[in-house]
């Protein structure tokens, strides 16, 4: 017998799980998502979230409250009489009446191996820290920040040059399959919950604009992990001078390079840049207002001579 579920999510990362649960035959009685946001060059058009659009395509009612703290919203949630709520990157805190507003509770799909990387940006933080493994977890939510007991885990290797975008796509598919498996077990009364250990807990804070700039004083391995963790969004960047004006250039891909020099020094004609220890070679970049291009194409129109030092 299928479960009556409420789905709560906002970005593209959440869409696969919504579609997978609907495809598995569960009844999605309502979808909660962040309200439409201004988009477009002028920011005048309100754009529905990816989850909002996917839910409408499935013919499911969509609710977009700005907060769930009000008694009216909490009563409307409880009135759905759902068996459980599924939460994947929703973006709003769930107060206690919402956590307790279904028969079996709220279950979160989280993109890390809890208790490591609790919080907002677990995918980027794992790569930026040089982790070689992460995963998806299904957790029963409590009032803490990603502190609830874990029901299921699926581990994923982080390969040496994997970007945040690539890991996002792998975990998106992994999480969808895992949540379907978890709800199948929940439906049968066979879902086992294991408390998280506190040892090894880390916090994946939101990525701030001021930390996206590349610090050439850092060791090459740290610079490489910083670049790939932030690719393609929001993107690590540095300043390069073309003519007389410095310009911000996003670095989307790099690889470990060879050579030594002053931090930020261009070591050759292939965009190998010295770091505090070692060097990285930039392989894909994006100028302001331009499209991502390979370094070899970039260098045809932007000459950076050997010995130039990037700030």
Residues belonging to the binding site for (6S)-5,6,7,8-tetrahydrofolate are 112-115
> Phi, psi at residue 62, to the nearest 5°?
-115, 130
Whether the Cβ atoms of residue 225 and residue 161 lie closer than 8 Å to each other? no
Binding site, residues? Answer: 112-115
Distance CA 99, CA 121 (A): 22
Whether the Cβ atoms of residue 280 and residue 254 lie closer than 8 Å to each other? yes
Long-range pairs of 84-87 with CB within 8 A, sequence gap ≥ 24: 84/3, 84/5, 84/6, 84/183, 84/186, 85/5, 85/6, 85/7, 85/8, 86/5, 86/6, 86/7, 86/8, 86/9, 86/17, 86/21, 86/179, 86/183, 87/8, 87/9, 87/141
* CA-closest candidate to residue 302, choices 311, 293, 24: 293
Buried b / exposed e along 60-76 (16+ C-beta atoms within 10 A): bebbebeebeeeebbee
Q: Which residues contact 169 (CB under 8 A, 6 or more apart)?
A: none
């Amino acid at each position: 017998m299928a479960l009556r579920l409420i789905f709560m999510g906002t970005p593209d990362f959440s869409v696969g799980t919504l579609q997978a649960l609907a495809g598995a035959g569960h009844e999605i009685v309502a979808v909660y998502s962040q309200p439409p946001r201004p988009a477009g060059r002028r920011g005048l058009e309100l754009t529905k979230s990816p989850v909002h659009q996917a839910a409408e395509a499935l013919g499911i009612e969509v609710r977009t409250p700005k907060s769930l703290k009000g008694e009216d919203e909490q009563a409307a949630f409880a009135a759905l009489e759902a068996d459980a709520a599924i939460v994947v990157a929703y973006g709003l805190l769930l107060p206690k009446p919402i956590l307790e507003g279904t028969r079996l509770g709220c279950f979160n799909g989280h993109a890390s191996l809890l208790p490591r990387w609790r919080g907002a940006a677990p995918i980027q933080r794992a790569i930026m820290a040089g982790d070689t493994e992460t995963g998806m977890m299904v957790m029963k939510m409590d009032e803490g920040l990603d502190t609830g007991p874990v029901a299921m885990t699926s581990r994923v290797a982080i390969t040496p040059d994997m970007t945040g975008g690539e890991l996002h796509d792998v975990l998106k598919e992994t999480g969808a399959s895992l949540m379907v498996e978890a709800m199948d077990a929940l439906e049968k009364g066979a879902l086992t919950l294991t408390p998280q250990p506190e040892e090894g807990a880390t916090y994946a804070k939101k990525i701030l604009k001021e930390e996206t700039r590349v610090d050439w004083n850092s060791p090459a391995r740290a610079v490489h992990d910083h670049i790939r963790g932030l690719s393609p969004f929001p993107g690590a960047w540095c300043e390069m001078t073309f003519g007389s004006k410095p310009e911000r250039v996003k670095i989307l891909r790099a690889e470990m390079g060879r050579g030594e020099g002053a931090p930020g020094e261009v070591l050759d004609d292939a965009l190998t840049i010295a770091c505090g220890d070692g060097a990285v070679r930039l392989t894909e970049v994006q100028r302001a207002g331009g499209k991502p291009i390979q370094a070899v194409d970039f260098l045809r129109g932007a000459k950076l001579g050997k010995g130039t030092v990037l700030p």
